[in-house]
Structure 1
Amino acid sequence: MDRNALADFLVRHRAALTPADVGLGPGARRRTPGLRREEVAQLATMSTDYYTRLEQRRGPQPSTQMLAAIARALRMTTDERDYLYRVAGHSAPERHAVEGYVPPGLMRVLDRLHDTPAMILSALEEPLVQNGPARALFGDAEQFTGWDRSTIYSWFVHPEQARAVYPVEDHAHHGLSKVASLRAAYGTMGPRSRASELAENLYARSEEFAQLWDSQVVARRFEQHKVVVHPQIGRIEVDCQALLTEDASQVLLVLTAPPHSEDAGKLDLLAALGAQSVVGSGSDAGSGSVAGPPNWSTVSP
């Protein structure tokens, strides 16, 4: 790990960004250009102290998960991200691998979505980034690791939690959609990919999954209209828009409701709950966690 190179690289990138570049308000008067350290920490969902120590050349070696979060926060290109990994003492991720990096262009779109649930998912339905309303609706995905981050996995392995977000009468349809989506990802990623590993894992653990997988249904799509259930707000009918990256490895999912409708009012309430969760973010040094409303279910968009 080259602490000097890492610190210099982080400082330079932070200074080159403005709050508007990352979807933040201008805030109080600034004495120096660029983002504040606490703003980068907030965007990367880590403590300000942890991030500050990296810039001051005295922090521990960051994990690849931390580096992916920092690369997203500082809107790095793939070349810049690869350099970040290397100076931090890690190998650069494979360009085709499914991991936490999100292209800056897709992040810029998410940055501008503050008042409605939106998130970026991997091809295996792993939430990579959520805005405040999405965390308030689905729970905070940052607390999950490994396969538990995949909503396809959690749907079949943790059904009591994962399915609580949808009405019971819609469960069968959503289960089939998730299996169809995984088979589409398998077709793209191949037999030695994480998609194959996930399918094999679920086939051995869930009879329900095995039956659906054997049906050979293939579809990479998200429902245009759905009903989600929040424990305090209740049922919310939403329209769902999905923006896929060119290689279909990630998708930006946005939930909206007709203006001035009862459901739009419920989404406004979610936006307020999401704003409260952002205020408490970054409280755990180096944990990558975000303080917010109690997590009531495994994330399952």
Structure 2
Amino acid sequence: MDRGQLAGFLRSRRERIAPAEVGLPAGARRRTPGLRREEVAELAFISTEYYTRLEQARAPHPSREVLAGLARALRLSDAERDHLHHLAGTPPGPPPGPPREVPRSALDLIHRLPGSAAFVTSATYEVLAWNELTAALMEDFSAVPPRDRNLVRRTFLGPGPKGGRLYGVSDADAFARSCVRGLRSAAARYPDSPEVAALIGELLAGSPEFIRLWAAHDVAAEHTLTKTFHHPAVGPVTVNCDVLHLPDRDQNVVIYTAAPGSPSEEALRLLAAGHVEVSG
């Protein structure tokens, strides 16, 4: 393990990542570019003290789990992940779980669609990136911890009846079934992923509905072409739903658009402009 080179590599990568790339607000008091040490530690699910010691070349040998967390938090490419393992003296193994690094082309795409709500999800339905209209229509994901950006967890374990049924969508039951099918497929593709296993275990322990759907072994795909959100400020918003799969990253780009000239298009325009208030 080369502690000095490992420390330099981590510091260099941390300083090159813009907060927006990982769903964090830029803030007004950042004195240096990139992420703060505590932000990397939170994203990697390790303590700030331990991460600080890694950057100071004073920490003991990091485990594979720690290296996997750092690779996710720092959005490392496959080559960079292998280099991180080499510096740590641990041969890289297969990807431990669904990739979280969103390709630059996908990020550019979702931010060039001002009239559409667009976001990127991982193989386990974690929201990895989103544009401003998504934040207005669904939720500002930068305001919640990373673990709470998982749509499966929010569907089955969220507040309210039946897991809260995300954002009042009209296809809530169909989406729940789709989540279970997708998660079962992800478990088959990443059999050694502690993250995937932990998510499934959490859902089995906390949701009778998930238990029922998981036991059904339903494999029939359902394709939802439209759905309606019941937004607290602008009321019902009906959108077309298109999904682009990114096979090299095992991610999906989800795009919501409203029919031209429809009341829903006007509602999206108001949300995009920020000219709405939630009453009561």
Equivalent positions of 1:109-120 (< 5 A) are 109-120=109-120
TM-aligned CA deviation for residue 203 of structure 1: 1.3
Alignment check: 8 A CA contact 1:181 1:221 kept: no
Distance (whole Å) between structure 2 residues aligned to residue 224 and residue 54 of structure 1 = 39
Distance (whole Å) between structure 2 residues aligned to residue 201 and residue 210 of structure 1 = 11
Structure-1 residue corresponding to 2:231:
230
Structure-1 residue corresponding to 2:56:
none
Structure-2 residue corresponding to 1:63:
41
TM-aligned CA deviation for residue 245 of structure 1: 1.0
User: Partner of 2:256: helix, strand, or coil?
Assistant: strand
**CA offsets, 1:236-295, max 9 Å, x none?**
111111111114621110001122222111111222139x9xxxxxxxxxxxxxxxx99x
Give ranges in structure 1 of 5+ residues lacking alignment.
15-39, 277-292, 295-301
The farther-off stretch of 209-218 and 60-69 is 60-69
Structure-2 residue corresponding to 1:34:
none
User: Partner of 2:32: helix, strand, or coil?
Assistant: helix
Distance (whole Å) between structure 2 residues aligned to residue 5 and residue 217 of structure 1 = 45
AA at the equivalent of 1:209: F
AA at the equivalent of 1:65: L
User: Partner of 2:30: helix, strand, or coil?
Assistant: helix
Equivalent positions of 1:1-301 (< 5 A) are 40-41=18-19, 45=24, 46-50=26-30, 52=32, 60=37, 62-63=40-41, 65=43, 77-79=77-79, 95=95, 97-98=97-98, 100-145=100-145, 147-160=147-160, 162-163=164-165, 165-167=167-169, 170-190=171-191, 192-218=193-219, 223-247=224-248, 249-273=250-274
Alignment check: 8 A CA contact 1:65 1:100 kept: no
Aligned-pair Cα RMSD in Å: 4.0
Alignment check: 8 A CA contact 2:99 2:249 kept: no
**Count of aligned positions:** 243
Of structures 1 and 2, the one scoring higher in RCO (CA 8 A, sep 6+) is 1
Task: Return closer, same or farther for 1:185/1:53 CA change in 2, 3 Å cut-off.
Answer: closer
Alignment check: 8 A CA contact 2:121 2:251 kept: yes
Distance (whole Å) between structure 1 residues aligned to residue 97 and residue 235 of structure 2 = 38
User: Partner of 1:252: helix, strand, or coil?
Assistant: strand
Percent of counterpart pairs with the same letter? 25
Give ranges in structure 2 of 5+ residues lacking alignment.
45-69
| TM-score for the superposition, normalised by structure 2 | 0.68
TM-aligned CA deviation for residue 151 of structure 1: 1.1
User: Partner of 1:50: helix, strand, or coil?
Assistant: coil
Task: Return closer, same or farther for 1:210/1:8 CA change in 2, 3 Å cut-off.
Answer: closer
